[in-house]
Amino acid sequence: MWRKEQMHYLCTPGKCDRWSRTIWQKIQAIWHSAQKGQITSFLLALMCLTGTLVSPLVFADDAFTPQSPRDENTETSTPEETSSRTLPLDEAYRLAFVNEEQIKIAERELAKAQLLPWRAVTLLTPRVEIDGTYTRNKDEISFINQPTLPGQAGTPSTIRPLESWQGVFAVTQPLVQPLFTPTWRLGKDAVQQNAQLYGFTISEVLFGVARAYYDVLRSREQVRVTQDTLRLTKDELRQAEVRFRVGEVTKTDVLRAEVEVARTERTLIANRDALQLSLATLARVVGISEPIAVVEPAPLAPNGEGYEQLLAKAYVQRQDLRAQVAGVEVARERRNQVLARYAPQVYTQWSYPRLDSPTFANRDKFWVLTLNFQVPLFDGGVRELDLQEQGENLAQAQLQLSRLKKDIGIEVKRALLDAETLAATLTTLRKEVALAQENYQITSKQYGVGLATSLDANTTLNSLNQVRTQLVDQTYAYQVVLLALDRAVGAFGRDYIPQR
């Protein structure tokens, strides 16, 4: 049954003229066959002429687009079309932000870093402790004081009792602590570093979601292209079988067409398996287990900015670069911590003892307040080694920062050039698809009237399938490259990154 769109195709200006010339050429071939008495060729040519009347329905331009009407007998459903949940790209981003373990791990690292400034505060807070001691001596040591008046008894005095319990309540308050300032700064810099790493992790995870999402779209279109190719190869097989039955061609043409059908069926199975794997990968990165289906997002377009502008943005916006800058400050403050160990410390202590057996020297409830100074002079060279080590760590962090800046420049350059290359490639591929499609239509019709071989038809069909496959690959690769360019300048996923 002809459709309205197919009738419109038949009446398109320019195509009707080519169709009329093709019919006239076939009528002439029929007449010459009849004159020569070639009845078989006459019948075959008549059948081919009849096929010409409906060939525009098979080779219409819309048949080579994913949204075109398809043969009713061809299976066009893909695995994700029967899914129970439709997942737009924005929803995939949101689910990954909530469920992905890498983001949660980075969030825990940030929470740990936020404890570091409080560690600096604890260096100035008082220490309170209770010490308890039980002592048993070999013998009790005591003496009796001589009486001062005649007739009085001597007073016993204990120097060391046989058994004793002693408890001391002590409060120590630092007054001068050189480690406080570098430790406080280190904590602030570590919070900044981990906050930037947290944002960078979110960006990387969401970019992985985008790649997985576009990989599903690419695999789905590959399945549809292969289904269209399978339909065309089956048409070629039916045409070869018809010509073989009337004796126009040999069995080789039928076998060659059967091989192409089998090869295309095998490719279709592989593409469907690849689609299943890409769907499973997408479900994994977004953190859900139910079957999902994807939706074609709006196509992206380049913003037109040059390399210098993009690089300047990258130096300002890249979270990993800002994290490395904070990492340099962390390394510097760690070195300052070692230097602070050369400075003196001052603290005061108040102790309050309780004894069950007071002695001549140790009194119960006899509190003591002391002021202590501690000046480090020599610790065996440990500070010198630590200082040298932290100096090397600082130099290493500065070199890593310099290297990262250079790598960012190359990354931005690569993404920009890839985007320009793919944009030009897509333009040429679209032309190649149009030319390959027209070439296949002409060759297939020529094969129908004996003006081309089955090898020619198979070659043109394979070329058409190849360029269509390349067009699908490069179309979605171009979208991913545009996202990669945003990622290279630090603009990707900013809506999901907490601003600090």
Place of tokens 């119960």: 364
Per-residue pLDDT of 241-267, as tens digits, reads 998 998 888 899 999 999 999 999 999
For the stretch 169-210, pLDDT in tens is: 999 999 999 999 999 999 999 999 999 999 999 999 999 999
β-pair partners for 455? none
Copy the structure tokens of residue 198.
């947290």
pLDDT average, residue stretch 468-492: 95
% helix / strand / coil in the chain, to the nearest 5?
65, 10, 25
Highest mean pLDDT among 1-5, 137-141, 161-165, 393-397: 393-397
Kindly report, residue by residue over 54-75, the tens digit of the pLDDT.
333 333 334 333 333 334 344 4
Mean pLDDT in residue range 321-326: 96
What local confidence, expressed as pLDDT, does residue 10 receive?
36
Identity of the amino acid at 36: K
Confidence class of residue 338 from pLDDT cuts 50, 70 and 90?
very high
Residue 452 and residue 443: Cα distance in Å, rounded? 7
CA distance 172 to 298: 66
Confidence (pLDDT) at 423: 95
Question: Could you tell me what percent of the chain has a pLDDT over 90?
Answer: 64
Mean pLDDT of 99-104: 93
The label of the residue with tokens 């309780």 reads 354
Whether residue 172 lies inside any domain: the answer is: no
Please tell me the total count of domains within the chain. Answer: 1
241: Cβ contacts below 8 Å, ≥ 6 apart: 254, 257
Residue-wise pLDDT tens digits, 225-244: 999 999 999 999 999 999 89
In a domain, 3, yes or no: yes
Can you give the pLDDT at residue 436? 95
Question: What does pLDDT average to over the chain?
Answer: 83
CB of 326 within 8 A of CB of 136? no
pLDDT at position 19 over 50: no
Count other C-beta atoms under 10 Å from residue 449's C-beta: 19
Sort 491 into a burial class: Cβ within 10 Å, 0-12 / 13-18 / 19+.
middle
Please give the sequence-ordered ranges of beta strands (E in DSSP) within 301-391, or none if there are none. 345-355, 368-374
- 27 lies in a domain? yes
Report the pLDDT value the prediction gives residue 130, as an integer from 0 to 100.
94
The confidence score (pLDDT) of residue 407 equals 96
| Nearest 10 degrees: Cα torsion 249, 70, 230, 88 | 170
Q: What type of residue sits at position 15? A: K
From the number of C-beta atoms within 10 Å of its C-beta (0-12, 13-18, 19+), residue 451 rates as middle
Which residues, listed in sequence order, are joined to residue 157 by a DSSP beta bridge? 143
Q: Which of 262-276, 286-300, 366-380 has the highest mean pLDDT?
A: 262-276
Give whichever of 10-14, 71-75, 152-156, 461-465 has the largest mean pLDDT. Answer: 461-465
Write down the pLDDT at residue 71: 41
Q: What's the pLDDT score for residue 16? A: 43
Mean pLDDT computed over 121-132: 93
Domain span including residue 23: 1-58
Question: Is 16 a domain residue?
Answer: yes
Residues with Cβ within 8 Å of residue 464, at least 6 apart in sequence: 64, 229, 433, 436, 437, 439, 440
Band of the pLDDT at 314, cuts 50, 70, 90?
very high
Whether pLDDT at 156 is above 70: no
Least confident of 215-219, 289-293, 399-403: 289-293
Give the residue with greater pLDDT, 439 vs 61: 439
Provide the angle, in degrees to the nearest 10, between the axes of the packed helices 319-340 and 382-448. Answer: 170
Record the tokens describing residue 380, joined without a space.
């065996």
Q: Is the per-residue pLDDT at 42 higher than 60?
A: no
Handedness of CA 403, 404, 405, 407 (dihedral sign): positive
- The answer to whether residues 485 and 310 touch, using CB atoms and an 8 Å cutoff, is yes
Range 272-282 average pLDDT: 94
Report the pLDDT value the prediction gives residue 50, as an integer from 0 to 100. Answer: 43
Work out the burial of residue 327: count CB atoms within 10 Å of its CB; fewer than 13 is exposed, 13-18 middle, 19 or more buried. Answer: buried
Task: Give the residue-averaged pLDDT of 71-93.
Answer: 65
Distance, CA of 70 to CA of 82 (rounded, Å): 18
When computed from its CA atoms, the radius of gyration of the chain, rounded to whole angstroms, is: 43
Residue 33 lies in a domain: yes
DSSP state of 434: H
Tell me how far apart the alpha carbons of residues 411 and 169 are, in angstroms, rounded to a whole number. 63
**Structural domain includes residue 241:** no
pLDDT of residue 97: 93
Helices marked H in 173-250 — which ranges?
180-245
Highest average pLDDT, of 152-161, 370-379, 469-478, comes from 469-478
**Residue 465 above 90 pLDDT?**
yes
Domain membership of residue 107 (yes or no) is no
Residue 32 covered by a domain: yes
Residue 315 has pLDDT above 90, yes or no: yes
% of the chain with per-residue pLDDT over 70: 80
Q: Is 28 exposed, middle or buried (0-12, 13-18, 19+ CB in 10 A)?
A: exposed
Of 62 and 122, more confident: 122
